[in-house]
Structure 1
Amino acid sequence: MATTFDKAQELNLDPAIYGTFAEIGAGQETANWFFRASGSAGMVAKSISAYDMTMSDAIYGKSDRYVSRQRLQQMLDHEYAILLERLGPKRGKTTTFFSLCNTVRARGYQDTGECHGWVGLRFQLKPGDPPSDIFIHVRLLDDETQEQKQALGVVGVNLIHAAFRHRGHLGRFVSSLVENLRPGQVEVDMLKFHGHGYGFFDNRLCSLALVEAGLTEAAMFRPDGEVVQAAEALYKKPILLLRGSFDPVTKLHLQMLEQARGVFSSALEPGEEAIELCEMTMSNLLRGSAVDHVDFIDRCDALQALGKT
């Protein structure tokens, strides 16, 4: 397994890869790895960190929540557009451009809140291609701020390296995200591919791969199949949950939900609606010692056809 330094240096020395870094909330730890390694001028076009909210809003626009996928999307849109505008005419024919952005809440002074962040990579599969996106949500589990920052930097390097070296193998991609980290340092609870080259990719398999690899305990999809980060989707919402194998979905499942909904609704505030979740455990999905991915997708399709999350 290559060290984080080795990965950074390998990418620095690849003449086709060039891009920008924008990191908010936990230092500039990803960019720092590339600066420490030799040849950073061949990889890093710009590194920025707009910590102040007013400065950040002036660059990326306002956002309801600063550590959110919405803010990450704003950062990627801005940074990648500037990169192409300024460097595309000069080296666009020979360069695969990228922008790595993150927005993070690390441990602050006397802070006891959840430490987590969104990390995104917008990149080209080959020179001149439309962009592709990879989004991950990370929970930082170390108690000390410095350790959280170091872990985030390693994850950032791993993400860039995996995007350019392992994107053709999902299992290898997922496992590489936490290379050179101790067990329990981070949890990666959402992974999504989007854009050019991923139009027919089923991101539900990404979520399953995260659970299989032990990077997270749960994954969540909306009725339309959209992969979401559970804590964000369920934030301050009442939840009605039905656990089962759903192999197949039966009338009994639907009747149980209907009866429970009637009782649960009476306890809610006027106008408040519960989110209904149908939960499958990994033990429900095992066929022998392995998970049948086709069977998993079939069960998800059946539930989602009924409008279930």
Structure 2
Amino acid sequence: MKHTLIPTNRKALIINIDTNMYGTFAEIGGGQEVARHFFMAGGASQTVAKSISAYDKRFSDVSYNKNKTGRHVSEERLNKMLDIEYKQLTTVLSDKSEDFSFFTLADTVETLNYAKSNYSHGWMGIKFQLKPNTASNTVIVHMILLENDAVLQQQTIGTIGVNLLYACKFYYDSPNDFLQSLTDNLTMDRFRITMMRMSGPDLDYVDNRLLAVQLVKNKMTHAIMFDKQGNVQQPSELLYKKNVLALRGSFRPITYIASDILSKSMELFARDEDYEPDNTLSFCELTLNDLTMQGDFDEQDFLERVDMLNAIGQHVMVSDIREFYKLVEFFSQFNIRNLRIAMGVPTLEKVIDKKYYTELKAGILEAMAKLFPENMKLYIYPTIKKVRGQQMLLTAKDVKMDEDVQLLFEYLKMKRSVLDLETSMSDQLHIRSHEVLNMIQNGKPDWEKYVPMKVAKSIKEKGLFAKGMKSVRSAKTL
């Protein structure tokens, strides 16, 4: 079914009257609005088997956590709600299983408090059958609520819930239509969807990594994250009180230099007094701009890069964030401990160039204030540059800048907010990843000298970066 914009009350009425969906609504915390739409639309007796609302946290614990305390607004609590309510629904109403497609829609939400001092967000999910007597599917969504009023946030939750149930029924076979329909009758200044995951027999064709990138492409969120196994993760859950190292790049392919930047950065990070190896995450960040350089999003190319980064033990992040100070602001909202961003000298030269900050009232001074909170440091990897006919190793101290910026930069270095990384691979500093890619695509075997063995093996075995892999394979055969 093609996506068309339908009013919220009309969607609820269509589900009530024109479908055989029958199930439970379970809402705890600030989200008490979804079921109301179906009661108000008319014909709710054909859809609502049960509606349960819990506001006091203890009732949530009794109902869904065996009377033990725990995190109430979390994916773990949402999954318990879905499992418990769906099991009860299908057990109590087993005599109706031939006639109805059962579902459970649940949400656990924290809306704005009276002082407006809290983080407003929530988890919503649905466990559902497409046909009677079939295995269930599951869709999980995390959302951030942006409105400055709790009542407006509740209304947003209600609309999202109706959109979600409608999408599960009518757009399950078109993930992009599914995603876009979640914003029906809403504007993106009201909320963000920061994570979405689909599973089940009717949804097993969906690659959740591609689904996550669509969230960024459709401007439903600014960034999405995958763990080292390639699983989509909610940033606030993944980053909470963690030390974070981030490296931005194209990683097409991953070179020895990129690998060296990561390892040398982690070695320097480990010298910090509060460094804990088990509490530190390393991210390779891809920007949406890099993934759509030719105007189109190449899904296969993206998946290849994620697989390679996961293969060398890296978490992966995809964002639409261009400025590094905005990247710092993004990470800082998740209550992380320390943040380190690694970059090469050429990137540093752009970071300290005043022309990129003309839209800020205080220009580069404002940008640097946002870039360097107390828990943030830049790690600078050296580069090779030809000076007067000779190859020179350039570090942070060699970067040319305006005199007024130089004073600011010296202050940051004195504070140890900008630190140089050492390299053990000066013989490869002249090579760039796009040059290695060209070697691969033109069948030149020298490319293997510039990438880690595990990456080279993966490129050859899987035929990655397809344009040139025929050449590489034929060269090896010959």
Fold match by TM threshold 0.5:
yes
**2:269 pairs with 1:264:** yes
Counterpart position of 1:92:
97
Q: CA deviation at 1:14?
A: 2.6
Counterpart position of 2:212:
207
Question: Mapping of 1:152-167 within 5 angstroms?
Answer: 152-167=157-172
Q: CA deviation at 1:223?
A: 1.4
Distance across 2 between alignment mates of 1:100 and 1:71: 13
Closer, same or farther: CA 158–15 of 1 in aligned 2, 3 Å: closer
Task: Indicate conservation of the 8 Å contact 2:8/2:185, yes or no.
Answer: yes
Counterpart position of 2:14:
10
The total of aligned residue pairs comes to: 308
Which of 50, 54, 67 is equivalent to 2:73?
67
**2:239 pairs with 1:222:** no
Task: Indicate conservation of the 8 Å contact 1:265/1:274, yes or no.
Answer: no
**2:19 pairs with 1:47:** no
Question: Secondary structure of 1:242's partner?
Answer: strand
Counterpart position of 1:290:
296
Counterpart position of 2:246:
241
Task: Indicate conservation of the 8 Å contact 1:14/1:42, yes or no.
Answer: no
Distance across 1 between alignment mates of 2:231 and 2:133: 28
Distance across 2 between alignment mates of 1:117 and 1:142: 13
**2:285 pairs with 1:302:** no
**2:27 pairs with 1:26:** no
Task: Indicate conservation of the 8 Å contact 2:12/2:37, yes or no.
Answer: yes
Distance across 1 between alignment mates of 2:13 and 2:30: 22
Distance across 2 between alignment mates of 1:182 and 1:64: 33
Task: Indicate conservation of the 8 Å contact 2:269/2:275, yes or no.
Answer: no
Higher Cα radius of gyration: 2
**2:124 pairs with 1:119:** yes
Q: Name which of structure 1's ranges 73-82 and 52-61 shifts more when overlaid on structure 2.
A: 52-61
In the alignment, structure 1 segments of 5+ residues that lack a partner are none
Question: Mapping of 1:107-186 within 5 angstroms?
Answer: 107-186=112-191
Closer, same or farther: CA 230–75 of 1 in aligned 2, 3 Å: same
Task: Indicate conservation of the 8 Å contact 2:243/2:275, yes or no.
Answer: no
Question: Secondary structure of 1:291's partner?
Answer: coil
Name the structure where helix makes up a greater proportion of residues: 2
Task: Indicate conservation of the 8 Å contact 1:99/1:121, yes or no.
Answer: yes
In the alignment, structure 2 segments of 5+ residues that lack a partner are 316-478
Question: Secondary structure of 1:249's partner?
Answer: coil
Q: What per-residue deviation string (whole Å, max 9, x for no partner) do you get for residues 218-263 of structure 1?
A: 0001111111001111001010001001111111111000010011
Task: Indicate conservation of the 8 Å contact 1:63/1:71, yes or no.
Answer: no
Distance across 2 between alignment mates of 1:157 and 1:192: 18
Q: CA deviation at 1:208?
A: 0.6
Which of 58, 61, 70 is equivalent to 1:57?
61
Which of 194, 197, 204 is equivalent to 1:189?
194
Q: TM-score, length-normalised on structure 2?
A: 0.63
Distance across 2 between alignment mates of 1:121 and 1:246: 36
Distance across 2 between alignment mates of 1:257 and 1:298: 20
Question: Secondary structure of 2:223's partner?
Answer: coil
Closer, same or farther: CA 70–278 of 1 in aligned 2, 3 Å: same
Identity %: 39
Choose between structure 1 and 2 for higher RCO, CA contacts under 8 A separated by at least 6 residues. Answer: 1
Aligned Cα root-mean-square deviation (Å): 1.3
Question: Secondary structure of 2:274's partner?
Answer: coil
